[in-house]
Structure 1
Amino acid sequence: MSNNNNNTEKKALHPLSRKAKKLTNDTLRQVHKEKHKSIKNKESNHLKEKLDWFQSKLEDGKKIYTPREIAEMIEEYIERNQLDVELGQSKTRSNKVDYLKTFKESEIIAFKTSGYLAPDLTKSIVVQWLKNWDGDKKYLQQAQMKKFKSIDTLEKEELQKAAKELDNKPQKQQDTTTTTNTDTKMTNCCFQKYQNHTRKKMSTDLIWNVIKNNNAFRIQRAGVVFSSEPGNLRNKNSLKYSGLARKNVVGVELNNGKFVVSSKLVKKAGFPAASKKVQSFPTHSYKKTARYVRSLTTTYAPELRAAALGRLQRLKLANINAKYQKARNAKKTTEAQQK
């Protein structure tokens, strides 16, 4: 008998067991559901009360209400519990009176600042729906609500709008010469801004697709395509080394016995003549030129660093070979003259 009693008795749950945790979670979930349900019921009851009050204030022949009329109705609706507050204060002070006072203050603050939520009676469909509504909570979701502000705030906003419009109006200028000068300056400024804007809006890919097969610098020999525009470090007809399509362009040339390093200013890309920045170095200062090219390409165009340094080295060797060739030719001419 004792064994049977022990088997029938329920075992005590450990507080840290999985079953105990599941039971606590279920109870907490149930409490949360009930709390959420009570909040929803309060909100629906408050909305039903509000719609009932506005339904009682609707006139028979009227289809649309102005925002001022709705604001007056809201002011009257906020004062709906004033009689209960006065009666409660005359008898004894209670928690209900305090609650009604605080609720009224919160409604007034919302009405004067962000707006008070009320049925959107500015639409004829909403007015007709509210007239036909039978007070059932099922159809509360169909009610179209909107925030309306008080008459004082509406008047303030209208005055602020009028003041802004007056401030934005340009002053009349009596002198015609000054007006023409200012107009020309404005047109030039707008044209420059338009040029910069259009140049910035055009992408490098779009420019490259337009000019890659149609430009004066394109050279084709034995099936290989080259390009001779300034700023092309490898003389290849490609987007990476293009001196026309790219915004960041580095050029390394040898001109009149000097290394000439040029770059394009991105801010003035719409004006080719003013966008070029040039720095020249003598041929005997190769290390200084290489240092400048390295510092320029590190932040400006890192992908062109190796190509720029390689072109500079090839130009140095070409310059040395040209000097030796010139000296050799001069020696040959002198020997020929002596003979």
Structure 2
Amino acid sequence: MDKRGSVKRTKWSSDVLISSRPGEARPACGAGGKCRRLRFTEPKLRKPQGGKQEKKVIHPYSRKAAQLAREVHKQEKKEKLKTDKALRLSIIGEKLQWFQSHLDPSKIEYTKKEAGELIENYMCRFNAELEQIELQNSIKGRQGRQHGSRETVIKQTIERERQLYEGYGIEIPDIMNRKHLKFFREWDGDLRKLPNIKMKKLSARDAACSHPEVTDAEAKEDLNEEEEVGPDEHQLNQELK
């Protein structure tokens, strides 16, 4: 309808509005005097199936795709660090459990020579398994070597530990100290308590040297020395947080 009261046809209906004066409109009446009410309705939007909004397709070279790729890479890196940390703590825990299970209950402390002998036994812990693998491979009719990958891992581990022991030293619980040995005996195997276990490096050269036993006064002084604490203790504290 315009301001002059003329007839105007609506967009959504075939009905005609008649205006008696500008600014006022009333429904058009038919021949029988009946008026039809006009309905001004907007077109309905088509809803997706299921009542849920459809997800937009992300372009593979868009900034959104690059952001999602960075988030996935960050999450994968975090999971890898978590797995590596758990594996490392598990290896250290198995090592300490071996030493704890092979302690002499009659000893209140170990000399360096006795600790060296315990290290030698520790490096021979795979002998029985290697013999079993060798026995299986010696059976006639076997095609190729059985458990070859396991055998390779064991030999590499023994070689690495041997190099450490004959070089700068291998890290073991400080069983040369009476107080630390007592605490280590009482350890319940909880990996969260690993930073509380004092570690010390011992080499083959140290074990070969004969020193007099450490007195109680010297043991108290050793508590304040940094060498009593293994070099990885601070790192273990950070990993366990």
Band the TM-score falls in, shorter-chain normalisation: 0.5 to 0.7
Q: Which 5+ residue runs of structure 1 have no aligned equivalent?
A: 159-339
Please state how far the C-alpha of 1:90 moved relative to its aligned partner: 2.1
Q: Does the 8 Å CA contact 1:117/1:146 hold for their aligned counterparts?
A: yes
Matching of residue 99 in structure 1 with residue 150 in structure 2: no
The residue correspondences of 1:7-156 to structure 2 (distance < 5 A) are 8-91=53-136, 92-151=146-205, 155=208
TM score, norm. by length of structure 1:
0.42
CA deviation vs aligned residue, 1:252-290 (integer Å, no higher than 9, x gap): xxxxxxxxxxxxxxxxxxxxxxxxxxxxxxxxxxxxxxx
CA RMSD of aligned residues (A): 2.6
Contact 1:115–1:149 under 8 Å retained in 2: yes
Equivalent-residue separation in structure 2 for 1:19 and 1:58 (angstroms): 59
SS in 1 for 2:124: helix
How much has 1:139 moved relative to structure 2? 0.8
Q: Which has the higher helix share?
A: 1
Give the count of matched residue pairs: 157
Please list the CA deviations of residues 79-114 of structure 1 after superposition, one character each: whole Å capped at 9, or x if unmatched: 101111121122124211111111111111111112
Q: 1:62: how far off?
A: 2.0
Partner Cα separation in structure 1 for residue 173 and residue 91 of structure 2: 13
Q: Which has the higher strand share?
A: 1
SS in structure 2 opposite 1:80?
A: coil
Q: Does the CA contact (< 8 Å) of 2:123 and 2:161 recur in 1? A: yes
In structure 1, give the amino acid aligned to 2:202. F
Determine if contact 2:133/2:151 at 8 Å carries over to the other structure.
yes
Instruction: Note the C-alpha offset of 1:144.
Output: 1.3
Shift of 1:3: 4.6
Counterpart Cα distance in 2 of 1:80 and 1:42: 20
SS of 2:61's equivalent in the other structure is: coil
Residue number in structure 1 paired with 2:14: none
Secondary structure of the residue aligned to 2:126 is helix
**Amino acid across the alignment from 2:168:** S
Q: 1:147 aligns to what SS in structure 2?
A: strand
Gaps of 5+ in 2: 1-43, 137-145, 212-241
Name which structure has the greater RCO, CA cutoff 8 Å, separation 6+: 2
Measured after TM superposition, the shift of residue 2 of structure 1 is: 8.1
Q: Structure 1 CA distance, aligned partners of 2:73 and 2:94?
A: 32
Secondary structure of the corresponding residue to residue 4 of structure 1: coil
Q: Is the 8 A contact 1:89 1:97 kept in 2?
A: no
